[in-house]
């Protein structure tokens, strides 16, 4: 998902959350006894039901596509997304739905927070449309992944960028002992700045930072290289308590439908999306917006999550091996009652914006 400028609250705020949410190894974390929710979701949602949603880009897409006022339930919008902020809100019982990648749900399991994934969105041609590229510092002498041995790499445990670093090392035949991981929050321009001032030799960059970093530091030798891995998972993530409530579960199902339709609308209306979201909402230039839309490619909403669960399992196993935590069945993270909801909503076409 594109980097949300609005969500980048700064290192001073996010770093304590990362440390609080990501501290410790097996001995200092509690693995949640995940609940399997199997009750049938009501066919209709009570229009008086209220859920709180942290998905700023979806909110804008719904508004631009004319669907925001059609939601068949009441909604409170929270201007947050991503693992650290949403997990804190889940723990405070102040959020029902969050937009996040796959890593926060894994880390939540290890820290005793019971959550579920209720929607999955990927990118068509994911290797041609990566979420991240590996930024290389001037003078770091890194041209391929194997050159990372002995280098300093920016690392954000508990977030997608942190897991990607471990996957990159595994692909290169390296472990975290072969490099120096430097813990930094992956918000705003923290990673590009750390690369530019030599604090780290490499760091995964996403969004406009892929474009801006070499533009700013390229004269000194800065660059980005491809990692060649699939890094595109995007999810709607919820506390299990919310989907245990029948009416909230029904409202969340309806939101998944609208969320998928809004994403499809944005894909089919790139000019309106660039102007309404990237320029007016996020404060980027139109050139940046065009760059991001091109980089994202087209969305893919699988009706069958078998492959998604298998990929998640590989990530769980790698993280467990590299961090000393206990591996677990990744299937417990997915609420498969919602498995085909997004794909079915797009087939029906009902409620699609103009």
Distance, CA of 349 to CA of 299 (rounded, Å) = 16
Phi, psi of 347, rounded to the nearest 5 degrees = -65, -40
Helices (H), 205-305: 209-217, 240-244, 246-268, 270-273, 286-296
Predicted pLDDT of residue 101? 92
- pLDDT value at residue 157: 86
Q: Are 230 and 307 in contact (CB under 8 A)?
A: no
Alpha-carbon span 116 to 120, nearest angstrom: 11
Neighbours of 250 (CB within 10 A): 21
At residue 36, the pLDDT reads 82
Which residue in this structure is represented by tokens 């709180």?
A: 52
**What is the pLDDT at residue 350?**
54
pLDDT in tens, the chain (354 residues): 443 333 333 333 333 333 333 333 333 467 888 888 889 999 999 999 999 999 999 999 999 999 999 999 999 999 998 888 999 999 999 999 999 999 999 999 999 999 999 999 999 999 999 999 999 999 999 999 999 999 999 999 878 999 999 999 999 999 999 999 999 998 889 999 999 999 999 999 999 999 999 999 999 999 999 999 999 999 999 999 999 999 999 999 999 999 999 999 999 999 999 999 999 999 999 999 999 999 999 999 999 999 999 999 999 999 999 989 999 999 999 999 999 999 999 997 654 443
Please name the residues in contact with 179: beta carbons below 8 A apart, sequence gap of 6 or more. 148, 149, 150, 151, 152, 153, 169
């Amino acid at each position: 998902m594109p980097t949300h400028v609005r969500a980048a609250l700064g290192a001073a705020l996010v770093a304590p959350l990362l440390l609080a949410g990501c501290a410790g190894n097996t001995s200092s974390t509690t693995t949640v006894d995940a609940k399997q929710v199997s009750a049938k979701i009501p066919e209709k949602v009570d229009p008086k039901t209220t859920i709180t949603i942290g998905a700023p880009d979806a909110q804008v897409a719904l508004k631009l596509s004319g669907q925001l006022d059609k939601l068949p339930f009441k909604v409170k919008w929270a201007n947050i997304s991503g693992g650290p902020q949403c997990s804190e809100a889940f723990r405070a019982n102040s959020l029902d739905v969050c937009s996040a990648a796959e890593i926060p749900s894994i880390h939540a399991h290890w820290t005793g927070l019971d959550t579920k994934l209720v929607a999955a969105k990927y990118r068509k041609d994911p290797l041609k449309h990566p979420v991240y590229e590996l930024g290389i510092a001037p003078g770091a002498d890194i041209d391929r992944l194997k050159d990372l041995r002995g280098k300093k790499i920016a690392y954000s445990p508990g977030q997608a960028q942190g897991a990607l670093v471990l996957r990159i090392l595994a692909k290169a035949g390296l472990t975290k002992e072969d490099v120096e991981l430097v813990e930094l929050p992956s918000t705003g321009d923290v990673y590009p700045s750390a690369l530019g001032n030599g604090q780290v030799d490499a760091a995964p960059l996403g969004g406009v930072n892929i474009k801006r970093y070499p533009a700013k530091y390229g004269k000194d030798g800065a660059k980005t290289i491809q990692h060649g891995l699939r890094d595109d998972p995007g999810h709607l993530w919820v506390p299990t308590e919310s989907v245990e409530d029948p009416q909230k579960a029904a409202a969340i199902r309806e939101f998944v439908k609208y969320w998928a339709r809004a994403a499809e609308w944005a894909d089919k209306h790139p000019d309106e999306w660039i102007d309404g979201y990237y320029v007016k909402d996020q404060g980027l230039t139109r050139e940046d917006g065009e760059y991001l839309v091109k980089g994202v490619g087209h969305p893919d909403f699988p009706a069958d999550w078998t492959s998604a669960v298998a990929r998640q399992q590989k990530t769980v196993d790698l993280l467990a091996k590299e961090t000393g935590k206990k591996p677990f069945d990744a299937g417990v993270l997915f609420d498969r009652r919602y498995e085909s909801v997004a794909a079915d909503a797009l087939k029906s076409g009902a409620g699609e914006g103009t």
